Chains A and B, each alone.
Chain A
Amino acid sequence: MHLDPFIVSRLQFAFTVAFHIIFPAFTIGLGSYLAVLEGLWLLTKREVFRNLYLFWIKVFALAFGMGVVSGVVMSYEFGTNWSVFAVKTGSVLGPLLGYEVLTAFFLEASFLGIMLFGWKRVGPGLHYTATCFVAGGTLFSAFWILSANSWMQTPAGYAVEHGRYVAVDWLKVIFNPSFPSRFAHMVTAAYLTTGMTVLGTSGLLALRGRATEESRTMQRMAIGLVAILAPLQLLIGHESGKVAQAYQPTKVAAMEGWWDTGRQPTILIGWPDDKAETTRVLLQTPKGFGSWVVAGDASAELKGLKAWPKTDRPPSLIPFWAFRFMVGLGLLMIAVGLGGAALWASGRLDRSKLFQWAALASGPSGFAAVICGWMATEVGRQPFVVFGLLRTADAVSPVAAGAVQASLAGFMVVYAIVFSAGVLYIGRLLVLGPQPSEPEPDGHPMPVRRVLVTSTEQGA
């Protein structure tokens, strides 16, 4: 394979964005969870909520830091690697990203300081406000970035002037056709990611014989969340799929592995082959089932990929399998959530080793589902960067291939180090679990830390 700047830029963007998405996917959910925990602590004054808050905020701080630094990269990469995209879409997408910085990034970054270091410096009301602002900031950020990304999937409210896109109706730009369902889908995914992580951690602690009132409480909270949101996510995802069928039928055809037009089956297991223009099927439903799922009508004639010229089709293998993994993981979450709820209702939750193993094993499923979902939707948008308007190949910067190869290699090394260390440190916290008397931050350093003799003591 010839490594021209285009291919390497795509690899680099895919790599850096996939690395980045892991952290917001976690911190959006964890931010809201922390707001709930601190609210419950202030409301009920039960120590268990305080301990859970002080435990999860340590995890949050680590994940948030990694999300911030990997996010700064994204705001520059549009220009360094996709400068033609930047020129052509700047007047439409620029304001959306600008509003993200103004309404979300500053809010999160500033109040994070109070949240992490202000426990003893400010009153409980102000500290709780800071937590809520940080949680709100993560949601505002998701709002704007999903709006921008959705515009690239389903552009609306624009006109073309001198080869560049300009907005003619901002509400149509922001609330473009795929935005509402994709925003709901992503935020729910983030909540589920956090829920499954909390659930997995509580399972781990139960299996290691380290279960506490704290870990049992967080397990029940997580089961409640997953049991409600995981089935709901199936419906939201289905809505999102219907919008895609209306506006991006090539993406749906690639995800479903459909080549010929007609009444479509749902292929459960298969291997799509772009060269042979067919999907080798191992297991599928009768014809019409796929049409019914996607269009609500078993007799609907839906287009297959062959209905479009080869140059307008996305590669099918990645969307096909990424979509199947995502749905499979979603079904797993539903099973774990409902199973846990049933055990909880019948009072057998803490005794069921099998469930604790299932919780532990499915702990990372949210992260995997988020990455698979993004791979399906972004590769499914190809060969366009702005669907139907701007081809990815035409959007790339005039940069030397060697420079992009060097930066990609650099990112791989840097992210490998940062990711391993982050996973190690978060892992250590999770294995330890929330303690019955979590130390208060600020003024109560953990035993492993050196205690510095302050200058007043030195002077005395």
Chain B
Amino acid sequence: MSLDLPLVWAAILAVAVLLYVLLDGFDLGVGALFALATPEERDVMTASIAPVWDGNETWLVLGGGGLFAAFPLAYAVVMPAFYLPIMLMLGALIFRGVAFEFRAHGRRSGRRFWTFAFSAGSITAVLAQGFVLGAFVQGIKVHDQAFAGGPLDWLTPFSCLTAAALTLGYALLGACWLIAKTEGELQLKARRWARRLTVAVAVCMALVSFATLSVNPAVTARWGVSMSHIDWSKLAPLSPAPLLGGLALAWLYLTAGRDQTTYAPYASAAVAFLAGYLGLAISIAPYVAPYQLTLWDCAAKDNALALMLVGVVIMLPVILGYTGFVYWIFRGKAKAEHGYH
């Protein structure tokens, strides 16, 4: 049997990262929206994500650990290249992660501090991920199979744009989650947030899409789009991805305001993210360290990939099963007193 193990592993990690974005995205987004809510609403907001955030963040560990395990060379090139934003993300995740518990234990000033830490930590973590995303798309300077750039290479106008876009996108996921999990005044607020954020995200996605075409000729060639000329034979087969994104956002804008809808806005936002993600995959595949090293250049030894594939085939359905089960247990509207003891 000749299974292309590196390709299989690229697909597994792509799914893990997508799940991370869709799941931790909403709980980071809820944190990003914290500043706009009243103290009472904040308790409901944390109660809506407290039982699941830890599982959500584990997909990030699978992403990092999986990259190390399946593509050690990519891990070794990418991590040093994004040293500072990754450290920033880790520090921010520490603050917002402990804040779940600490908010409940803090007295007056402590509670205020951890409320701020939760909000600022969530926003900083997303911004850092957005910087990494932008810098990743722009490409990494590689020499002799190692990172050869400077410590601030990741900071560019393009990565600032992707950082802003991702933050707004996570906030949108968060608002959609709150529509599903809350009721009354807070839900009305969440609907307003979701509609405004949908417009902002649509603008950002368009800007990022056009800017992506200018960052690297390889991307332009793949989409068949340049400043002066459009090659429809290339663009047409790929066009479902951006079209899907546009439709999903339009649907989201319409449904977010309707009283009866609960999960439809979140589902639409997830589809919009999926579309953006597919567009990204089209732009950079098969590179795992754009545009220098492909997934086959970076893959671990086949017997390592095979051993882990056995683990994934057995464990991933189990993990998805009990993750779904936990979400089902905590279904329904969140109440403040459901949260911390």
Contacts and interface: CB of A to CB of B under 8 A. Distances in A.
Interaction A to B:
yes
Interface of A: 58, 61-62, 65-66, 68-73, 75-76, 78-81, 83-84, 86-87, 89-92, 94-95, 97-103, 105-114, 116-118, 121-122, 161, 164, 166-167, 170, 397-400, 402-404, 406-407, 410-411, 414-415, 418, 421-422, 425, 428-429, 439, 441-446, 448-452, 454-455, 458-459
A122 B323 CA distance: 15
Given A72-B90, A167-B304, A113 B55 contact: yes
Contacts of B322: 106-107, 110-111
A69 B83 contact: no
Given A73-B90, A110-B55, A167-B303, A451 B337 contact: yes
B135 to A, nearest CB: 14
B205 to A, nearest CB: 28
A83 B68 contact: no
Given A91-B72, A109-B58, 7 more contacts: A66-B98, A94-B72, A94-B300, A94-B308, A113-B326, A117-B339, A445-B340
Interface in B92-122: 93-95, 97-98, 100-102, 104-107, 110, 114
Contact of B304 (A65, A95, A398): A95
B93 A114 contact: no
A226 B91 CA distance: 36
B79 interface: yes
Given A73-B90, A94-B308, A122 B337 contact: no
A97 B69 contact: yes
Contacts of A79: 64, 67-68, 75-76, 78-80
B66 interface: yes
Contacts of A99: 308, 311
A343 B70 CA distance: 56
Interface of B: 39-40, 43-44, 50-52, 54-55, 57-58, 60-62, 64-73, 75-80, 83-84, 86-88, 90-91, 93-95, 97-98, 100-102, 104-107, 110, 114, 145-148, 150-151, 183-186, 300-301, 303-304, 307-308, 311-312, 315-316, 319, 322-323, 326, 329-330, 335-341
A410 B61 CA distance: 21
B112 to A, nearest CB: 13
B105 A414 contact: no
B80 A83 contact: yes
Contacts of B147: 83, 397-399
Given A75-B61, A399-B80, A98 B341 contact: no
A204 B131 CA distance: 49
B330 A121 contact: yes
